[in-house]
Structure 1
Amino acid sequence: MRDASEKLITLLDADQFLMADLYTITTIQGDIYRYTNFDAHLTVDGQIFRSDGPIISREGISISLGVEVDSLSISIQVSGSESFDQIPVVQEFHNGVLDGARFKLERVFMDYRTPTDTSAGTIKLFEGRIIEPEFDRNIIDASVASDTDVLDVLMPRNLYQPSCLNTLFDSACSLSRLEYVVSTTVDAGSTEYRLLCHLNQPQGWFTQGVVEFTQGLNKGLKRTVRLHESGALLLTLPLLSMPAEGEIIKVYPGCDKRFETCMNRFNNRDHFRGQPFIPVPETAV
């Protein structure tokens, strides 16, 4: 059952009313974008939902009982002029800014005589995370998985292996990402594969780590560091655009999940979840 205000119930009992879909996209960086399929901007609870953004359409909502993952299919059509923070929408998806973003679908009902009066409130139809985007030049197709998607994990959860079962900075690892992030700037001479920058950490510290762009055409883009050399970061995959001198980047250290690395680099022995001393598997002949 969905909650509705008394005014909304009265409006729905009337013979005629207008309705519109409201879309809210929240990135993992905290940026929020609001759009509507109505032909004018709508203000709902003090928030403006724009009608001049990308055209967002959707299929029917699939909802089931139990722990099965509910889903919503969406399509975002752009003409090339639409942008998120002055970056084209398609490039934002390429950069990975929308990876794991929250998507909320609401419906607002209005009196046909006052078509922009949204005081009756909204009904939330669906909410979840954007997954598996596929895009070409002008159309982005993606699925939105409900929050029950987090229950889709392999069993058994823990395996016996020499390397650590944790992912660096997850809840089991217990280390804080903010305590290890390093901000620096891109130096002249950098390329799509090799970033020149000044880092005080010893060579190899950021190998298998992550670099994140916070400015420019690569804003939001993350790349794995293949090799950390003195004064340079070699990336596993090239950037989509040439980095500009002076752009601020965030660099996070890497972890090879070895016991020695956990002790010497992070001093986190108590949370190491590997079994480095188990016997090496042998083959019987």
Structure 2
Amino acid sequence: MRNIPAALQAKLESGVTTLCHCWKLTRRDDVVQGFTDHDDDLVIDGVTYRAGTGFISSEATSRFDLSVDGAEIAGALSDDALLDSDLAAGRYDAASVETWLVDWSDVSLRVLTARSTLGEVKREGQAFSAELRGLADSLSQDSGRLFTARCSADLGDAHCRFDLVAGGLQGEGIVTSIESTSTIVADGLDEFDEGVFTGGKLTWIDGANAGLSVEIKEHRMASGHARLSLWQAMPELIASGDTFTVAAGCDKRFVTCRARFNNVINFRGFPQIPGNDFVIASPDAGAGNDGGSMAG
């Protein structure tokens, strides 16, 4: 239940027109931005809500599956507010959004009307629109672990628990040349065998893509230099001299976990689960049909 200040309630009942909407966006990297549909900037609790960004919102409706249908915000891209490159880089993916109804003549009179997260973002020229997904939307999402033969963890994460640094499987490199938008040649990784970083992760330290990560498609050695092919092109141009860190990859098979990383105790797959061939197999009159290793 919303707690509406008495003074604001009185203004709502009187039909005054000193009300506006404010949106507070908090990205996953903790960057906070404020926007308003008022004609002047507003400062609330130390956050400046910028006017002149063209921000508008639509009404939200809910469907029976608890997801949000038709709720969105729209606005303009600008150098001092929202950058197209930031949207393309995914910096606003799943950002939290607070929607406030505010009396611009006295910003202490305000009420929180909705909490949501940014969903799909569409861009067209210098304009954008973003889907808002309400809190109930998470209830309609699939969650939990999947029963698969391969491990569900990523090498070195909290579930895998393998120490990449102690294992000598993390390095730092510098770009020496760019072969394509998704292929680079780098120095600093000569001590690592070819293929160590295939399926691993590259994270940019500096340059236009600083802070962004991408999966490595292939790691090869050529003329004493590491050649890294990325699964996707970066949103900004890569330049010679850009530095990065790389972490080794894993094909998530049980045999790899045992032989290469000696980390079977933390394997999060189900290597004994029957495959598709077993599931669709039919009895064979010439076979023992005793269940084999699956007998119990």
TM category (shorter chain) comes to 0.7 to 0.9
CA contact (8 A) 1:186 1:244 kept: no
Pick the structure with greater CA Rg: 2
Name the CA shift for 1:173/1:76 in 2 (closer, same or farther; >3 Å): farther
How many aligned positions are there?
271
Secondary structure of 2:2's counterpart equals coil
Instruction: Please tell me whether the aligned partners of residues 99 and 113 of structure 2 are also in contact (alpha carbons under 8 angstroms).
Output: yes
Cα distance between partner residues in 1 of 2:256 and 2:234? 29
Cα distance between partner residues in 2 of 1:49 and 1:136: 24
- Are 2:164 and 2:170, in contact at CA under 8 Å, matched by a contact in 1? no
2:100 to 95, 98, 106: 106
Deviation at 1:214, TM superposition (A): 5.0
In structure 2, the partner of 1:128 is: 116
Coordinate RMSD, CA, aligned: 3.4
Cα distance 1:186–1:155, how it changes in 2: closer, same or farther (>3 A)? Answer: closer
For structure 2, list consecutive stretches of 5 or more residues without a partner in the other structure: 285-296
Q: Indicate if the aligned counterparts of 1:188 and 1:196 stay in contact, CA closer than 8 A.
A: yes
- For 1:244-283, what per-residue CA distance to the aligned partner results, in whole angstroms no more than 9, with x for missing partners? 2333434344332212343456554333222223455244
What percent of counterpart residues are identical? Answer: 23
Task: Identify the residue that residue 287 of structure 2 maps to in structure 1.
Answer: none
Give the deviation of 1:217 after TM superposition: 3.3
Instruction: Report the TM-score, using the length of structure 2 for normalisation.
Output: 0.75
Q: Distance in 2 between matches of 1:34 and 1:50?
A: 6
Distance apart, 1:167 and its partner CA: 5.1
Show the counterpart of 1:196: 185
The letter of the residue matching 2:116 is G
Aligned residue number for residue 149 of structure 2:
162
The answer to whether structure 1 residue 238 and structure 2 residue 233 are counterparts is: yes
1:26–1:33 Cα contact (<8 Å) kept = yes
RCO higher in structure (CA 8 A, sep ≥6): 1
On the 8 A contact 2:33/2:48 being kept in 1, the answer is no
Alignment partners' CA distance in 1, 2:192 and 2:227:
12
> What CA distance in whole angstroms lies between the structure 2 residues aligned with 1:177 and 1:150?
33
Q: Distance in 2 between matches of 1:95 and 1:83?
A: 17
Shift of 1:224: 2.0
What code does the residue aligned with 1:109 have?
Answer: D
CA contact (8 A) 1:172 1:271 kept: yes
User: Could you say if the C-alpha distance between residues 8 and 57 of structure 1 is closer, same or farther in structure 2, counting changes exceeding 3 Å?
Assistant: same
C-alpha distance 176-129 of structure 1, shift in aligned 2 (>3 A): farther
Q: Deviations over 1:165-205 (max 9, x none)?
A: 34556765567999999574532213422233323554333
CA contact (8 A) 2:121 2:129 kept: yes
Query: Is the aligned partner of 1:208 residue 2:195?
Result: no
Could you tell me whether the CA contact under 8 Å between 1:104 and 1:128 is conserved in 2? yes
SS in 2 for 1:189: strand
User: Which structure 2 residues correspond to residues 5-154 of structure 1 after superposition, within 5 A?
Assistant: 5-52=5-52, 54-63=53-62, 68-70=66-68, 72-78=71-77, 81-83=78-80, 89-110=83-104, 115=105, 117-120=106-109, 122-154=110-142
